[in-house]
Chain A
């Protein structure tokens, strides 16, 4: 009867090995996605190298769902550049165009005013109370590249979280059941 126990044991160990293998490959996918993102952060110097346009304030240049690639070099900010900035105390970054720049001679500090191409007035109402200028540390990056429509996937997933969970579970199931 020894051969039955042996084969059961081999089947069991095989299952465990396969499961471990699947878990490792799933982990690899997640880890490499994270690595790519972090590498992009290092290369571009921006804390979020890719952003999705969420508002219509830059129409018709950028629509909702378009993707922007950000790059933040040491070059000074100049008028006309499209920058992504984050106001202290607000969690959603804003993509708007620089319309005024005042750069100090001695310290190199800079006062920046922005405006959305599709907005009537400048951005002072969007800034914190009693804030009239952006400084360098508010700027998260300047937009250098553009890809239309691709961001819709993330907009749909943030607005309809159920789709996100369905997608994640289907992908997870596929990864676990596939035999490669």
Chain B
């Protein structure tokens, strides 16, 4: 009953239980954080706007993104993945979501971002619906924990209207 094997087993089982419990508590403690990030995004320029040979519209934008995401970080946060998506409706599609830019914020110290960039991923429509199209710019974030539940949320920004003609 009190052999070495039994004691080792008991110690191992106990420490695994405690570790699991601590992981659970760490993840649960994220619930007490109520983040209030703020962000502004401006479309500075339409670099070009064309219909691709396959018939789909494509546009290239220059964006200015500034955001303060410090409040998303807790002690259980490994990193925050932040990205900007264009969202719009077309006659064929009830929802189109296209990522334009994304970035990884590794720590709270780097959570104030101010970025001037062209769209990192190609903004291509399924079809030719982008002329004169209103779309919403939405800043999404995905909080990746050191352990436990992953959290995501977003902030809908001002809309933007694409011009009526290709350029």
Contacts and interface: CB of A to CB of B under 8 A. Distances in A.
A122 B79 contact: no
Interface stretch (A25-33, A76-84, A88-96): A76-84
Contacts, number: 85
B96 interface: yes
Interface residues of A, number: 29
Chain B interface extent, by class? 20 to 34
Contact of A60 (B92, B102, B106): B106
Interface string B85-111: 100000111111111001010100000
A175 to B, nearest CB: 12
Nearest to A79: B97
Contact of B104 (A61, A81, A143): A61
A146 interface: yes
A77 B72 CA distance: 23
A79 B147 contact: no
Given A80-B140, A82-B142, A60 B121 contact: no
Contact of A145 (B78, B79, B83, B148): B148
Interface in B149-165: 149-150, 152, 154
Interface of A: 60-62, 76, 78-82, 97, 99-105, 108, 111, 115, 117, 122, 143-148, 174
Interface of B: 5, 23, 27, 78-79, 81, 83, 85, 91-99, 102, 104, 106, 121, 126, 140, 142, 144-150, 152, 154
